[in-house]
Structure 1
Amino acid sequence: MKNEEISLQTKKKLAQSLKKAMEKKPLSKVTVSELIKDCNINRNTFYYHFSDIYDLLKWMFEQDAIEVIKKIDLLVDAEEAFRFVADYVDDNRHIINCAYDSMGHEETKRFFYSDFIGVMQSVIENGVRQLKLNVSSEFKSLLADFYTEALAGSMLNWLKQREKYDKEEFIQDLLFICQNSIPYLLKKRAD
């Protein structure tokens, strides 16, 4: 086995161990000692791969984001993408809440941003094509960034207040907002 493969396996084992530990206690209470014990590796191996637990958490979220983005790229429309991300958030809510409590709103929101930016760019490009409009790339980029920020923030707010907002209703409301406002804005900005 190549060194890169061994390194990746070690990182994945540490990430799994971190997820397991975060199910039992806050991130601030998780120690390197318990992670290395769970993975049966030494302390030097941990620090060879990561500078600290937050570095491991960041790597773990980046890997999850890569997997989420790969799957989103295969989805046909915005509803599927919103549903996929809402399901991911729902399935991983405890870990995301732990990260939120440790890293704060803005850092956690960046994770969702990377998931949604491609979706929003695709939705906007499809809208331009379907409406047969000519819209500047600068405005399309601004619009994608604006909606991505809004969606990422909304997703985090939903996560923190899930009991107040049914997932299906949340998804349908997001779709309603996007499907009604994006075409309007594109038409208003068309050349």
Structure 2
Amino acid sequence: MALKNRTKQMYAEALYKLIITKPFEKIQVKDICEYCQTPRQTFYYHFRDKYDLIAWIFHQDYDSVFKSSTSSSYEHNLASILEKMYLKRSFYKQVFTDHSQNSITRYIQDFDVEMGTALVKNALSTDTISDEQLYLIKYHSYGTIQMTIEWLLNQHKMSATEFAHMQFVAMPDFLKQAYLSMDDSVNFG
């Protein structure tokens, strides 16, 4: 692991530890830096703010599944990322309670919509999608994110595999086809 990633991982570990004893909204960059015994400049070299750190953590979790998976099944990979999030649910439950402009919920929604849009464009070999397709991508994404939060809060008693299947079944057909044809040539996030 490169030094830059080790430093980022150190800040992530600090946030994991701090979130156990303090509500997320009360954790400041100063607290993370004090925990790591680093100057704030070092933190700001790597991240814009604590929300940027959370986005990096999410991307690490996402990439660890989707970029290293040998499975071509989107549903299987989705179940794997959900399982990873469930194992870290005490962390994700805390950060999902934040509803500020920079919240992880908004970040994941934007990421998910961007990914869905890119996949549909790639699958259809086009540079644009219709307003209806964008609406359905957003509708599915927003609903899926909210249901994921409820699932992490144990409001739905099902395994990650069952939950991934429910998400996949609820997906609009054109989006489902785009995910099924997903390949490494699509860039997003």
**Taking structure 1 as the reference length, what is the TM-score of the superposition?**
0.64
Structure 1 residues 33-182: aligned runs within 5 Å: 33-46=30-43, 49=46, 55-65=49-59, 68-69=62-63, 71-72=65-66, 74=69, 75-103=71-99, 107-113=103-109, 114-115=111-112, 117-118=114-115, 122=119, 137-139=128-130, 141-142=133-134, 143-160=136-153, 162-167=154-159, 168-178=161-171, 181-182=172-173
Deviation at 1:90, TM superposition (A): 0.5
8 Å contact kept, 1:120–1:144: yes
Q: List alignment gaps of at least 5 residues for structure 1.
A: 129-133, 187-191
How far apart, CA to CA, are the structure 1 residues paired with 2:127 and 2:40? Answer: 53
Question: Match for residue 183 of structure 2?
Answer: none
Structure 1 residue 26: Cα displacement: 0.9
Which structure has the higher relative contact order (CA within 8 Å, separation 6+)? 2
Q: State how far apart, in whole Å, the 2-side matches of 1:92 and 1:78 are.
A: 21
Distance apart, 1:46 and its partner CA: 4.0
| Structure 1 residue 97 displacement after superposition | 1.6
In structure 2, the residue corresponding to 1:153 is in which secondary structure?
A: helix
Identity of aligned residues (%): 17
What residue ranges of structure 2 are gaps of 5+ in the alignment?
178-189
Give the distance between the partners of 1:123 and 1:44, measured in 2 at CA.
Answer: 40
- Partner Cα distance (2:15, 2:25) in 1: 11
Q: CA RMSD in A?
A: 4.0
Amino acid at match of 1:86: L
Structure with the larger helix share: 1
**Larger CA Rg, structure 1 vs 2:** 1
Pair 1:108–1:60, CA change in 2 (3 A): closer
TM-score by length of 2: 0.64
User: How far off is 1:16 after superposition?
Assistant: 1.4
Instruction: Work out the CA distance in 1 between the residues paired with 2:55 and 2:73.
Output: 24
Number of positions where the alignment pairs a residue of Structure 1 with one of Structure 2? 170
CA drift of 1:22 comes to 0.7
Q: How far apart are 1:32 and its partner, in Å?
A: 4.5
